[in-house]
């Protein structure tokens, strides 16, 4: 307790010291913009420490060149062609050619904005702090001698990746587009799918140094106001130098930071995000990353795929059951093998037990150490395959799986049945990518419990895991909903997927109680087409 209080006091003292140093070094960072152009330029250059990539272009404009102005911008973050075409040319040549017939005051920022600047994204500011923030964000700053105001002009240049198919969420049927690192492009992808005035986008900045744009997106008529209020409270309490990826925010706003299970979901697919927004959830977009966070999250959604709703319910239900079985195999496969072969041989058929014993005849290690070595080797190969270039990564995977596995069996270090068990575990672990982290950790935990206490240890581990899952909450929503607490109507979309025309209600644990509870009309079941006219003619 005292250590925590001491840490808070040290942090407060350090931040106050840094803020005082920044205030003195910035030389009036939060003061109004001086009307003297020369003085404004000196202050800004002093704040930015005369950085070489910051350009200051001074020019004269007006009918008799009586006005003096300056453009400030960072070279690598603006479109110089737009600056010349839509800022300098109208001011320098437009005022000279057409004169000052309307007796306009060219030292007034509002006059320049409304009569000469043809770029629509303009903003008037009066504080040096706002000026520095906008300049570092990549906009053009127009200063006019004699004015205490400045004009922020966004030229719109920003290098970003094209809209491509996400590499982590490939689908056979469905949209191929995915978010990219530009937050404005990501918002536009959501707007294209929800053309409703209820869609709200609220922007804030996080990171004292990075000042990263973060947007909260939700549907006003569906999302719970208390949920949005809680999201804003958790985001505003984040005090950090920089937000470089949405994973930073996820670790600061999650409900159970010590749990191995994620309570904040993420996705790169706009259609998946939109589907969750329609269920009353809220999305958190972070500039600089294609991964969008969604809250609240429930455990069951990690086994659902957007492709389930684009195909007929029969295949979708079978594939969903396969995902559940795959998660069970990936977490309990090696543990059950060790428990059966070491503690419960009587449960194995005699012929299979003889085959296992023959395969382990030359193996010098106990079953738990053998399983641990194989799983550890698989995790090394997976990590190497991800980090290396694609061509080399595929080669490493093939060499590791074939050469090392075959050589280990022939050398008598690993039994053939263990290679089969670990291979099945490795393949099954990729069927539920959202639970890869928790599945990997649980695999080692259950393996250790099986080596110590056999089947009893595995059962005890399962009970502890279930108790932990039932205790989790994600922004007030039970993590195991709709299984615990039980909701019979919501079970239509858990282990199997009922037809779309049968799922008329929103998720009641997530949706706001005062919102419209139905997502579609209740009488959409398809029926054969009946042509009454043709039937009557046949009767005649």
Tokens of 132: 């520095």
Question: Is the per-residue pLDDT at 540 higher than 70?
Answer: no
Question: Does residue 274 contact residue 193 with C-beta atoms inside 8 Å?
Answer: yes
In this structure, of 15-29, 67-81, 184-198, 330-344, the range with the lowest mean pLDDT score is 15-29
pLDDT (mean) for 119-125: 87
What pLDDT does 255 receive?
Answer: 93
What pLDDT does 490 receive?
Answer: 80
Instruction: Convert the pLDDT of each residue in 304-353 to its tens digit.
Output: 988 889 988 999 999 999 999 999 999 999 999 999 999 998 888 888 88
Tokens 């496969």 correspond to what residue?
333
What pLDDT does 530 receive?
Answer: 62
Where along the chain do its domains lie? 22-153, 183-297, 323-477
Question: Does residue 287 contact residue 212 with C-beta atoms inside 8 Å?
Answer: yes
102 or 283, which is more confident: 283
The torsion region of residue 216 among left (phi > 0), alpha (psi -120 to 50) and beta comes to: beta
What pLDDT does 194 receive?
Answer: 92
Q: Report residue 123: phi and psi, to 5°.
A: -145, 135
- The residues, any chain, with a CB within 8 Å of residue 202's CB and separated by 6 or more, are 215, 216, 232
Instruction: Convert the pLDDT of each residue in 363-394 to its tens digit.
Output: 888 888 988 988 888 888 787 777 777 666 66
- Rounded alpha-carbon distances, angstroms, from residue 447 to 312, 323, 327, 431: 38, 21, 15, 20
Q: How confident is the model at residue 513 (pLDDT cuts 50, 70, 90)?
A: low
Cis peptide leading into 399, omega within 30 of 0?
A: no
pLDDT (mean) for 112-120: 84
- The residues, any chain, with a CB within 8 Å of residue 225's CB and separated by 6 or more, are 512
What pLDDT does 25 receive?
Answer: 39
pLDDT (mean) for 120-146: 89
- The residues, any chain, with a CB within 8 Å of residue 169's CB and separated by 6 or more, are 178, 267, 268, 269, 272, 306
Rounded CA separation 342/320 (Å): 33
- DSSP assigned state of 138: T
Instruction: Convert the pLDDT of each residue in 173-227 to its tens digit.
Output: 889 899 999 999 999 999 999 998 999 999 999 998 888 999 999 999 888 899 9
Question: Is the per-residue pLDDT at 534 higher than 60?
Answer: no
- The residues, any chain, with a CB within 8 Å of residue 423's CB and separated by 6 or more, are 401, 405
The torsion region of residue 28 among left (phi > 0), alpha (psi -120 to 50) and beta comes to: left
Instruction: Convert the pLDDT of each residue in 390-442 to its tens digit.
Output: 666 666 666 666 667 777 777 778 888 888 888 889 889 888 888 888 999 99
Rounded CA separation 124/151 (Å): 5
Pairing verdict, β 122-125 and 140-144 = unpaired
Q: How would you write 302-368 as a 3-class SS string?
A: HHCCHHHHCCCHHHHHHHHHHHHHHHHHHHHHHHHHHHHHHCCHHHCCHHHHHHHHHHCCCCCCCHH
Tokens of 480: 């195991």
Question: Is the per-residue pLDDT at 236 higher than 90?
Answer: yes
- The residues, any chain, with a CB within 8 Å of residue 478's CB and separated by 6 or more, are 298, 470, 472, 484, 485, 509
Question: Is the per-residue pLDDT at 119 higher than 80?
Answer: yes
Is the C-alpha dihedral spanning 479, 485, 489, 494 positive or negative?
positive
29 or 170, which is more confident: 170
pLDDT (mean) for 123-147: 90
What pLDDT does 24 receive?
Answer: 39
């Amino acid at each position: 307790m005292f250590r925590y209080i001491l840490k808070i006091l040290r942090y407060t003292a350090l931040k106050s010291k840094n803020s005082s140093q920044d205030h003195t070094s910035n030389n009036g960072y939060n003061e109004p913009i001086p009307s003297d152009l020369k003085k404004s330029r000196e202050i800004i250059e002093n704040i930015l420490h005369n950085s070489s990539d910051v350009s200051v272009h001074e020019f004269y404009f007006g009918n008799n060149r009586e006005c003096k102005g300056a453009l400030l911008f960072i070279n690598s973050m603006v479109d110089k062609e737009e600056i010349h075409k839509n800022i300098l040319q109208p001011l320098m040549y437009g005022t000279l050619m057409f004169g000052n017939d309307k007796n306009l005051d060219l030292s007034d920022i509002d006059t320049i904005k409304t009569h000469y600047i043809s770029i629509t994204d303009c903003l008037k500011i009066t504080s040096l702090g706002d000026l520095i923030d906008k300049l570092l964000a990549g906009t053009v700053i127009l200063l006019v001698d004699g004015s205490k105001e400045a004009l922020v002009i966004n030229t719109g240049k920003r290098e970003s990746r094209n809209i491509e198919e996400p590499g982590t969420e490939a689908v056979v049927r469905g949209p191929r587009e995915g978010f990219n690192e530009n937050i404005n492009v990501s918002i536009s992808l959501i707007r294209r799918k929800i053309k409703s005035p209820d869609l709200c986008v609220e922007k804030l900045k996080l990171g004292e140094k990075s000042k990263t744009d973060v947007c909260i997106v939700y549907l006003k008529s569906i999302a719970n106001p208390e949920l949005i209020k809680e999201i804003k409270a958790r985001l505003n309490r984040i005090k950090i130098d920089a937000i470089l990826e949405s994973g930073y925010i996820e670790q600061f706003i999650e409900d159970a930071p010590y749990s191995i299970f994620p309570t904040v979901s993420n996705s790169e697919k706009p259609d998946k995000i939109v589907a969750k927004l329609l269920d009353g959830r809220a999305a958190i977009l972070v500039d600089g990353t294609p991964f969008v966070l969604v809250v609240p999250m429930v455990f069951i959604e990690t086994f659902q795929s957007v492709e389930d709703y684009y195909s007929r319910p029969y295949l979708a239900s079978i594939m969903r059951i396969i995902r559940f079985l795959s998660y069970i195999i990936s977490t309990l496969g090696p543990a059950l093998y060790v428990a059966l072969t070491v503690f419960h041989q009587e449960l194995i058929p005699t012929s299979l037990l003889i085959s296992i014993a023959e395969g382990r005849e030359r193996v010098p290690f106990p079953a738990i150490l053998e399983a641990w070595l194989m799983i550890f080797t698989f995790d090394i190969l997976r990590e190497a395959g991800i980090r290396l270039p694609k061509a080399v990564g595929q080669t490493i995977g093939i060499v590791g799986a074939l050469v090392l596995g075959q050589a280990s069996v022939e050398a008598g270090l690993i039994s053939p049945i263990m290679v089969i068990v670990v291979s099945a575990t490795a393949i099954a672990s990729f069927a539920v990518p959202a639970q890869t982290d928790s599945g990997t950790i649980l695999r080692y935990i259950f393996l250790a419990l099986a080596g110590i206490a056999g089947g009893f240890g595995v059962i005890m581990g399962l009970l502890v895991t279930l108790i932990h899952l039932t205790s989790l909450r994600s922004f007030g929503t039970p993590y195991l909903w709709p299984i615990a607490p039980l909701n019979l109507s919501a079970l239509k979309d858990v282990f199997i997927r009922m037809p779309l025309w049968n799922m008329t209600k929103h998720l009641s644990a997530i949706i706001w109680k005062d919102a419209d509870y139905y997502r579609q009309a209740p009488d959409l079941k398809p029926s054969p087409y009946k042509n009454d006219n043709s039937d009557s003619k046949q009767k005649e």
